[in-house]
Amino acid sequence: MKQLANKVAIVTGAGSGIGRAIAELYASEGAKLIVSDIAEKGGAETVDAIKGKGGEAIFVKADTSKPEDNKALVEKAVEQFGGLHIAVNNAGIGGPLSFVGEYPIEGWDKVIGINLSGVFYGMRYQIPAILNSGGGSIVNMASILGKVGTKGSAAYVAAKHGVIGLTESAALEYADKNIRINAVGPGYIVTPLITNALDEATLKALVGLHPMGRLGKSEEVAELALWLNSDKASFVTGAYYNVDGGYLAQ
């Protein structure tokens, strides 16, 4: 039997990159997908790819920094597929690059709003629906920068550290209620978030930060998220797993 057969899953930020890879993999393992993104074109392409391989999926446009959009996502999952069992709170942005003493206030607010508050808003509405469905599992997308700092990205680092703490607290609260909640920390992954924003020299420098000598692939992150959201990880909750080519081992 497929690992996620008869499960209903929400994946945010699923219009490209890691989110798309997760949505496609989950669908191939039998999940019914609510594909969410602020980018309608990318979200529609993900749905088309899933349906093209015989999977079930619908697209719902949502800005995760808005509580009402997160609520609507969950309501659509229940309306369309009858419940909710799995969520991946993956939507995120990089934000401005600047030192703390010069960091734009509006940039800070936007990064925290999407990368941290968005995860809270997601779980705020996902958890009651998962409880009503008899239990399930949530994966929150953190980062290697949820464990260490880096210059110029204070908002991103702060948000991702917050995601790990939020994950641990929520996991403790629902550990005896049949909901597992874990965090994943990718290293630098080849996604539009990276390749569209950085020049060749910067990308080469990033490769050098990883002991394996390359950047990661979205599919490699998706495989870890699949395991965490499957019954194979039935005794795993409140954990943080990095998938980073050795970055954090240095």
* Tokens matching residue 84: 């909710």
Contact indicator for 18, 191 with CB cutoff of 8 Å: yes
Q: Which residues contact 227 (CB under 8 A, 6 or more apart)?
A: 233
| Residue 244 identity (one-letter amino acid) | D
In sequence order, which ranges of 113-175 are alpha helices (DSSP H)? Answer: 118-132, 154-174
- Secondary structure letter of residue 189 according to DSSP: B
Q: Is the pLDDT of residue 33 over 80?
A: yes
pLDDT tens sequence across 58-75: 999 999 999 999 999 999
Instruction: Name the pLDDT band for 200 (thresholds 50, 70, 90).
Output: confident
What pLDDT is recorded for position 195? 77
What pLDDT is recorded for position 196? 75
3-state secondary structure of 231: helix
pLDDT tens sequence across 96-151: 999 999 999 999 999 999 999 999 999 999 999 999 999 999 999 999 999 999 99
- Cα angle at 143 between 78 and 11, to 5 degrees? 15
What pLDDT is recorded for position 139? 98
DSSP 59-101: EEE--TTSHHHHHHHHHHHHHHHS---EEEE--------B-GG
pTM: 0.95
Catalytic residue IDs: 156
Instruction: Name the pLDDT band for 46 (thresholds 50, 70, 90).
Output: very high
Give dist(CA 137, CA 42) in Å, integer. Answer: 25
Q: What's the average model confidence in pLDDT over 173-189?
A: 97
What domains does the chain contain, in order, with CATH numbers?
Answer: 8-186+217-243 (3.40.50.720)
